[in-house]
Each structure stands twice: as structure tokens, then as C-alpha cells.
Amino acid sequence: MTNPPSPANKLATYLDSCFRIRVKVPGTENAVLGVLPVVALLLVWTLTTWGRTERLVVPEGRVGDTDGGPAIGQACPDDTSYLVPGFRRIDVELEKDRFETFLTGSVASYPLHSLPSREVEGGVRVKLPRGTFIGTITQEIGVTVGAEVTPVGRGGTRLPPPPATMTVNLWVYLFEDVQSRLITRVILPSPMEVVRSLRALWNDRRPFWNVGHSFKRVALGFLVALAVTFPLGIFMGSFSRWKSLFAPLMTFGGYLPIPTLVPLTMSLFGTSELQKVMFLALGFGIYLLPLFVRAIEEVDNVYLQTAYTLGATRAQTVWHILLGIAWPNIFDAMRMGFGIGWGYIILAEMVDMGSGGVGALILVSQRQGPREHIYLVLLIIVLIAFITDKLWEWGGDWAFPYRRMKR
């Protein structure tokens, strides 16, 4: 009876199988291997942005220079001004050479966790770090007539139980200590910060409206490019002199940086919708034309010789032989080309932020905040590109079912 292989031998065997050429991977293992890089990326992202989260309890006040108070779920950028009326600021020594700042009113005091603050006319103005108002609480406060409550803490004193109580409304502000994380929130927000900003993106930025505008532009640009490059690609792939005529332009387009087309189309079409569609059409055309020509040229000459032997006309040879055999590769080129359109749309929409779209949404989030919306929009773009790619894949399986047959 043979002994079962040790864990070390199993690991060595599996590592060896990872470097075998063209072996079949079981479905479950294939799914697990595909998830591992994503999990590793999320783990690194979480560890580099992990920080100590703190809660700040402050009395009701005004956010910024407006007369309105905070709202539940309201996110604030860095150095948001928060005015607490009717309070004053005091420093209490907790330990030797260690002080804590408190907001002190007539009946209660609240620690500021070393946040910058100053007394102004009518109250105290506090600089809040980047964070979110997560809710309100009510607190029963003991009241002694004519007395002021001393802050509670190490080094502080506690008043005797008061004879009466009153209810105070307070706000809970959640923020993260940026000193406790490797990468600050301004540079890279954590995964949970990105998730928490989803509500603000949904309520304030109309993501589906912007995505709809972008999808319409991508689709129109793709159709315009297809109307030009598809017949031209067939002519260039089928007839040698047509290829000699347009090959220099195709080569020139292959070396042309796509971003340079933005000012070119702006000078021709302004900043209207037509400019965005034509920019995308040029980008699509430069990418699709060489792929269409190659798909036609890769048809083996043996099929042409067979067609000529059977007496096929020139039009029949092009339509039924060259185009008929090249259709799967042409479809794959269209599928890949439609996907890169989501990269080009960012360039087109960043020019005119008022026109909407995912590009304008990213630029507004980069300039005005919150930065978390940039990552959410990128995730939305990837999700839409994945869904459309799957639709293209299902369409290819329906149109060319023989490609999935086993040889």
C-alpha cells in the first residue's frame, strides 16, 4: 500500500502544473484563480488605507458660512468650518504638558480631540477633518443653577449630582485619524470610504443620467466609425490597389496619439455633441480599420482558388468567401473596439463639464470632491464595459455557434 503524498509534495505538484502549457483548468479552480488577484488587490488597498476612526460629539451648529445645520449622511471635505453658537473654548490639563480642548457651555462640555478651533463672536468655530455626520443623539445633562460644569477627564473634576436634568441634542461626526494610515484619504480613500460615498453620488450626481449620455455618445461614435471603416476595410483587404491607396493613411493613424484629436475636433466642431461623437468616431476608426483589413487578409488563398474553380464571380468571392470566412474575426474586432470607447469618452467629456457624462463626473469630483466618487465612477465604467462585453460574447455565440465546437 502506497503512502498518500505529503502536503509539500502536493504543493510541488500543483506549482509544476501551473507552468504546463495549454492544460485544461477545472471550472471551479478557474473561478477561484480569477478571484484571487481581485482579493489580493482589495487586501492591499485596505491595509494601506486602514486608519483609526474617531467619533466627535458636538452640539447643534452651522456648517460653513450657511445658516443651515448638518444633515444625516452629509459628507464634509477637509477643513470644513463648523460654528457652535453659545459655547466657548477652554484647554484642560489632563497630564503633565498634555492638554485637551473642550467646547464648554452653561451646562456641559465636549472634547474636540485636538481639532483646530477658535472663539468667534457668538460661539466657537471648529475646523472639521474630512468625514461624515452619521446621526443625532440626545443626552440628559445635569443642571445646577448658577454653576458651570467642569470637563470630565484625567486631571478634571466631577461635580456632585445635580438636582435637575435637561435634554441636549447633539450631532455625531465620524472621521478618520489620517496619521494612523499609510496613504492619506486625499490620495487614496479606503474601500469603506468609497462605499459610504455611494449615497452622495446617487443623490447629488445623477450617475445613471451621466452614464446614459456617455453610452449614447459611444454608440453613435461607434456607428459612424463602422459606416466608414467596414466597407473601406473590405476593399483594402480584398483589392491590393485599394490597400496601396489607403495604407499610408492607416499607418499614419496608427501612430497618431488619440488625445491630439481632442483639440482638432474642437476646432472643427466646437464643444457640441457633434464634437464628442466625431472624436469618438475618429478614435474608433483608427483602431478598427487595421483589424478589419487583417481579418480579410487572413483568409487562406485555397478558398479563393476553390471559388474561382467553381466559377464564382468577383462579387460572390468577396461576399461569400472573403467576408463570409472573416466574419468571426471582424465581429471580435468590433467587440474589442467598442470596449476601448469607454477610455476615449473620458477625453471627450472632460472638455465640457456642463454636458454631463462620466468624464465630466470624474473631473468635477477631482476638482470639487469628494474624491471617492472618482473610484465609484471608474467602477461603474468597468461594470458597464463588462456587461456590454458579455452581450457581445453572447451575440457572437449566437451568430457563430461552430466556434465553440470542440476540435
In a domain, 5, yes or no: no
337 contacts: CB under 8 Å, gap ≥ 6? 222, 225, 284, 287, 288, 291
- Residue type, position 295, single letter: A
**DSSP letters for 232-274:** HHHHHHH-HHHHHHHHHHHHHHHHS-GGGHHHHHHHHHTTSHH
Q: What is the pLDDT of residues 183-232, one digit of tens each?
A: 777 677 878 878 877 777 787 777 788 888 888 888 899 999 999 999 88
Sign of the alpha-carbon dihedral angle for 323, 328, 333, 334: positive
Residues 231 and 343 in one domain: yes
Residues 128 and 243 in one domain: no
Q: Using DSSP, how many helices (H) and how many strands (E) does the chain show?
A: 13, 11
Identify the pLDDT of residue 149: 47
Torsion over CA of 309, 313, 314 and 317, rounded to 10 degrees? -60
Identify the pLDDT of residue 350: 74
- Residues facing residue 82 across a β-bridge: 63, 126
Separation CA 225–CA 228 (nearest Å): 5
Phi, psi of 58 (to 5 degrees): -130, 150
If one counts every other C-beta atom within 10 angstroms of the C-beta of residue 37, the result is 9
Identify the pLDDT of residue 95: 67
Number of structural domains (the chain) is 2
Residues 175 and 243 in one domain: no
Separation CA 155–CA 307 (nearest Å): 98
Sign of the alpha-carbon dihedral angle for 250, 252, 255, 257: negative
Residues 178 and 266 in one domain: no
Residues 179 and 220 in one domain: no
Start-end of H helices in 18-119: 27-48
CA distances from 301 to 186, 239, 292, 308, 332 (A): 59, 13, 17, 11, 22
The enclosing domain of 324 has a CATH number of 1.10.3720.10
Q: Is the omega angle on the peptide bond into residue 259 within 30 degrees of 0, that is, cis?
A: no
Write out the H or E segment, with its range, that includes residue 173. strand 164-177
Pair 260, 252: CB distance under 8 Å: no
Separation CA 75–CA 56 (nearest Å): 14
In a domain, 31, yes or no: no
Residues 173 and 219 in one domain: no
In a domain, 139, yes or no: yes
Separation CA 321–CA 300 (nearest Å): 10
Q: Structural domain of residue 75, as residue ranges?
A: 52-186
Exposure pattern of 169-183 as b/e (b: 16+ CB <10 Å)?
ebbbbebbebeebeb
Q: In what order do the strands lie in the sheet with 109-111?
A: 88-95, 98-104, 109-111
Residues 170 and 297 in one domain: no
Axis-axis angle for helices 358-368, 323-349 (nearest 10): 30
Start-end of H helices in 53-149: none
Identify the pLDDT of residue 223: 92
77 closest CA partner among 402, 367, 297:
367
Sign of the alpha-carbon dihedral angle for 184, 188, 191, 192: positive
If one counts every other C-beta atom within 10 angstroms of the C-beta of residue 156, the result is 14
In a domain, 220, yes or no: yes
In a domain, 313, yes or no: yes
* Whether this model's pTM surpasses 0.75: no
Identify the pLDDT of residue 131: 81
* DSSP assignment letter at 322: I
Residues 182 and 211 in one domain: no
Residues 59 and 111 in one domain: yes
Q: What are the residue ranges in the chain where pLDDT is below 50? A: 146-160, 162, 406-407
